[in-house]
Amino acid sequence: MSSSPKLDDTLREAILAKPQSVLDDKDVMHALVAANERAMGGNIIDLRGIAMERLEARLDRLEDTHRSVIAAAYENLAGTNQVHRAVLRLLEAADFETFLRDLGGEIGEILRVDSVRLVLESAQPEQGQALERLGEVLSVAEPGFIERYLTGGRGPSARQVTLRQMQTGSRQVYGRQADWIRSEACLKLDLGKGRLPGMLAFGAEDPHQFTPQLGSDLLAFFAGVFERSMRRWLS
């Protein structure tokens, strides 16, 4: 058997000078292992090669998981920043009309939703008409509407945040924008003792923006801040 090298001298010297670079290159190592298996023949089982394949498969799964965790962390951080910015803008309003205008404008843009609606229940029709004149973002409904809207008439719900997809939005909630609403986040509001409940609805054209599988902690936090602000204005 000849011991003379079959590699080009330049390539051989490069490998001998930096052997670690060969070991660190996954594609090169795959080619070397495959060549070794062919040289061994098909009747010999290379347990070391099988173990390497399994380890590589586990490493690939770990890398995928790592990327998913990092992506979720960034997404959660971005969502937290959005909610914090929206809360700060919410607290800047000097009067109720500005509060409502910001809600339907800049706050909706910060939260990246296509429609924002505040629904208040009222047993007095004349009071409802006066409230609706304050802006398009506000709509007034009869007592019991919010609970029926959130549960579909199935009884009371303890959830503060409801995320769901839909074929089309409710005209009573979204008005002229209802036809292109495909998902929504509904935040039930406790406006204080002796007051009827309220609801903040975020509507989206994207059917996947709000789905029941998504976390709702940040929206629950925003609802808590919002309902406290509303109590201040209503008092």
Nearest CA among 141, 131, 128, 142 for reference residue 96: 131
CATH architecture of the domain with range 95-234: 2-Layer Sandwich (3.30)
Residue 130: per-residue pLDDT:
56
Per-residue pLDDT at 216 exceeds 80: yes
pLDDT in tens, 22-48: 777 777 777 776 776 666 655 555 556
pLDDT mean across residues, the chain: 81
Q: Which pLDDT value is given to residue 114?
A: 92
Is 209 a residue whose pLDDT tops 50? yes
- Write the pLDDT tens digit of every residue in 72-113: 565 666 778 888 999 999 888 888 888 888 888 899 999 999
Reported pTM? 0.66
The ranges assigned to domains in the chain are: 95-234
pLDDT in tens, 175-205: 888 999 999 999 999 988 888 899 999 999 9
Q: Are 5 and 12 in contact (CB under 8 A)?
A: yes
- Cβ-in-10-Å burial (0-12, 13-18, 19+) of 69 comes to exposed
pLDDT of residue 110: 92
Output 9 or 148, whichever has higher pLDDT.
Answer: 148
Q: What is the DSSP string of the chain?
A: ---S--S-HHHHHHHHH-HHHHHH-HHHHHHHHHHHHHHH-TTS--HHHHHHHHHHHHHHHHHHHHHHHHHHHHHHHHHHHHHHHHHHHHHT-SSHHHHHHHHHTHHHHHHT-SEEEEEEE-S-HHHHHHHHTT-TTEEEE-TTHHHHHHHTTS-----SEEEEE-SS--HHHHGGGGGG--EEEEEEE---TTS--EEEEEEESSTTSS-TTS--HHHHHHHHHHHHHHHHHH-
One-letter amino acid at 152 equals G
Which is higher by pLDDT, 12 or 112? 112
Percent of the chain with pLDDT over 70: 78
